[in-house]
């Protein structure tokens, strides 16, 4: 056999092997490039979804901080109104003591001067109430501006993230927010106003009950019981939210006497006789009117008796017991003042601070429950608000050596990659905003103390999630197809 012919056959075999090797290298190169592109697209999708979710979580927490500030400002207003009421009460008490001791050289004058000084102190508290009201109003404007622009801010997040990339990646990748698989602010948060402000009303009242000086600054100062005489000195006072747009406070001090001599052979204690010693009140409102219901001491003593407080209502409940069975809500028990010292409470309505609404008829901005933003569904215990991002790169920009992709997605993988010849390389990612308090707040010595999600606690957190349903994936891809 000719050696020259044998060497020519080897050359053909080498050429065939080289062709196979070249195709294999091209296959491996295309697969490596596509896998690298898929990994980079997924990484960019995760980053964009997280950046968008951060804005969503910040929106929730900023609303929570503003709502907390609104509650704190209302308690500050209640504190100022209470101080006005208390100082006016102290002024009246000092004046009455000064009158009773006017015959004692120096003593009566000192108490009278003290009363005048306390009156000036109570009058000076008016500007503080106005300042707190303006703070409430400013916070309301800030919250409204925040939530009005929130949708545009979140929609712009993917584009703004894309602008942080280098020039090459900005040209290669497109970022789309899936409107179907995402929760925009309008679907999460609602503006509560007018009669819908019940939720914040309950929060303010619950917070007020935790401050003794605001809810009930009452005490029995003296008590003595003899065979035929009972003597008590009762101090009562407190601040209440009247309806949703007025803060009112009253402080009273009365001497109570009971003697025996009533009933069969005088064996029963006679009715309580009250002698008012000190009294004062203060009220401010949003509309310039005092909405507290007023009754006379005789009506209270002879017709009504208290039957208890309601945690969810800013009122004291009284029940008619002598004429007919009925009930009504009367605003203004003021820490038991109406029930224990009714005569002094009635006098407190005439002994008010100079800036009291009954004297000025002035409307004070920011008094009471402001308009606010909270979750649209306030009954949801553990809501989750997702944001779904799609990152795509056109097929023409993929670094492959052939016009046909070497990597073909089939079966269940098609739902993950959604990639075939001519299609852009796409990746989906989802961030989830959820509510979770710190563990030390959830687990107490008394057991598990779970708090439902709300916009009163700034514990909204963010996480990435791969739990994207087939329906959401399909809707996201369809949105991209329509956009193209």
Of residues 298 and 436, more confidence is placed in 436
DSSP secondary structure string for all residues of 9-34: HHHHHHHHHHHHHHHHHHHHHHHHHH
pLDDT at 312: 40
**Whether the predicted pLDDT of 405 surpasses 60:** no
Q: Is residue 263 part of a domain?
A: yes
Asked, for residue 76, whether it belongs to a domain, the answer is: no
pLDDT band at 301 (very low <50, low <70, confident <90, very high): very low
Which one is predicted more confidently, 59 or 216? 59
- Please compute, for residue 266, the number of CA atoms within 13 A of its CA located in the half-sphere on the CB side: 7
Beta 384-393 vs 268-269: how paired, if at all?
unpaired
Q: What are 180's two structure tokens?
A: 């179907």
List the one residue out of 307, 309, 346 whose CA is nearest residue 327.
Answer: 307
d(CA 17, CA 15): 5
Please provide the DSSP assignment of 358-415 as one string. Answer: HHH----TT-SPPPEEEES-TT-SS-EEEEEEEEEE-GGGS--SSSS-S----TTHHH
* Residue 337 tokens, joined: 């003042």
Lowest mean pLDDT of 120-129, 173-182, 247-256, name the range: 173-182
Question: Residue 351 falls within a domain, yes or no?
Answer: yes
Q: Which of 53-62, 121-130, 177-186, 307-316 has the lowest mean pLDDT?
A: 307-316
Asked if the structure places residue 81 within a domain, the reply is no
Q: Given the DSSP bridges, would you call strands 173-177 and 447-448 parallel, antiparallel or unpaired?
A: unpaired
Q: Is residue 452 part of a domain?
A: no
pLDDT-based confidence at 323, cuts 50/70/90? very low
Q: Does residue 233 lie in a domain region?
A: yes
Residue 224 in any domain: the answer is yes
- Quick: pLDDT tens for 160-206: 999 999 988 888 888 988 888 888 998 899 999 988 998 999 999 99
CB under 8 Å to 2, separation ≥6 — which residues?
none
Label residues 210-238 b or e (16+ Cβ within 10 Å = b): eeebbbbbbeeeeeeeeeeebebbbbbbb
> According to the model, what pLDDT value does residue 448 have?
63
Could you tell me the pLDDT band of residue 52, with boundaries at 50, 70 and 90? very high
Domain residues for 220?
212-365
For residue 445, how many other CB atoms are within 10 A of its CB? 5
Is the pLDDT assigned to residue 418 strictly greater than 60? no
* Average confidence score pLDDT of the chain: 81
pLDDT in tens, 153-162: 999 999 999 9
> What residues have CB less than 8 Å from 462, skipping those under 6 apart?
50, 53, 54, 56, 57, 431, 432, 433, 434
Burial class of residue 322 (count of CB atoms within 10 Å of its CB; 0-12, 13-18, 19+): exposed
Does this model's pTM top 0.85? My answer is: no
Rounded to the nearest 5 degrees, what angle is found at the Cα of 200, between the Cα atoms of 194 and 124?
90
Number of domains comprising the chain: 1
HSE on the CB side for 173, CA within 13 Å? Answer: 29
pLDDT of residue 304: 36
Angle at 185 between CA 197 and CA 431, to 5 degrees: 130
Task: Give the model confidence (pLDDT) of 90-115 as tens digits.
Answer: 999 998 888 888 788 888 888 888 88
The whole-angstrom distance between residue 403's C-alpha and the CA centroid of its chain comes to 57
Pick 154 or 32 by higher pLDDT.
Answer: 154
> Pick the residue with more confidence: 207 or 29?
207
**258 part of a folded domain:** yes
């Amino acid at each position: 056999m000719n050696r020259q012919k044998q060497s020519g056959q080897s050359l053909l075999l080498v050429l065939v092997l080289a062709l196979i090797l070249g195709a294999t290298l091209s296959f491996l190169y295309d697969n490596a490039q596509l896998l690298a592109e898929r990994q980079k697209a997924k990484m960019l999708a995760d980053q964009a979804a997280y950046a968008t979710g951060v804005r969503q979580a910040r929106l929730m927490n900023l609303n929570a901080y503003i709502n907390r500030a609104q509650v704190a400002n209302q308690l500050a207003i209640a504190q100022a109104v209470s101080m006005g009421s208390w100082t006016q009460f102290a002024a009246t008490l000092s004046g009455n003591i000064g009158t009773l001791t006017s015959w004692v050289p120096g003593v009566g004058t000192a108490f009278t001067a003290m009363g005048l000084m306390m009156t000036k102190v109570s009058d000076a508290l008016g500007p503080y109430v106005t300042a707190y009201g303006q703070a409430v109003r400013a916070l309301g404007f800030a919250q409204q501006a925040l939530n009005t622009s929130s949708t545009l801010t979140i929609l712009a997040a993917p584009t703004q993230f894309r602008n942080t990339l280098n020039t090459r990646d900005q040209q290669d990748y497109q970022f789309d927010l899936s409107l179907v698989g995402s929760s925009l602010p309008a679907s999460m948060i609602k503006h509560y106003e007018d009669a819908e402000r019940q939720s914040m009303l309950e929060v303010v009242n619950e917070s007020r009950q935790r401050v003794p000086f605001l809810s009930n600054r009452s005490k029995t100062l003296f008590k003595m019981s003899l065979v035929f005489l009972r003597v008590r000195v009762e101090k009562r006072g407190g601040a209440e939210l009247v309806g949703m747009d007025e803060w009112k406070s009253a402080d009273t001090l009365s001497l109570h006497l009971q003697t025996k001599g009533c009933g069969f052979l005088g064996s029963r204690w006679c009715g309580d006789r009250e002698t008012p010693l000190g009294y004062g009140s203060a009220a401010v409102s949003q509309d310039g009117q005092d909405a507290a219901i007023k009754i006379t001491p005789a009506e209270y003593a002879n017709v009504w008796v208290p039957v208890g407080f309601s945690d969810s209502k800013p009122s004291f409940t009284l029940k008619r017991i002598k004429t007919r069975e009925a009930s009504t809500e009367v605003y203004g028990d003021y820490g038991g003042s109406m029930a224990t010292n009714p005569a002094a409470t009635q006098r407190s309505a005439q002994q008010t601070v100079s800036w009291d609404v009954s004297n000025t008829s002035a409307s004070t901005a920011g008094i009471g429950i402001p308009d606010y933003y909270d979750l649209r569904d306030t009954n949801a215990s553990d809501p989750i608000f997702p944001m779904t991002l799609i990152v795509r790169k056109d097929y023409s920009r993929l670094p492959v050596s052939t016009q046909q992709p070497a990597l073909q997605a089939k079966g269940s993988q098609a739902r993950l990659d959604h990639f075939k010849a001519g299609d852009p390389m796409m990746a989906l990612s989802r961030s989830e905003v959820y509510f979770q308090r710190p563990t030390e707040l959830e687990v107490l010595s008394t057991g598990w103390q779970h708090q439902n999600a709300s916009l009163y606690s700034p514990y909204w957190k963010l996480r990435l999630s791969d739990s994207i349903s087939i329906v959401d994936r399909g809707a996201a891809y369809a949105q991209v197809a329509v956009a193209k």
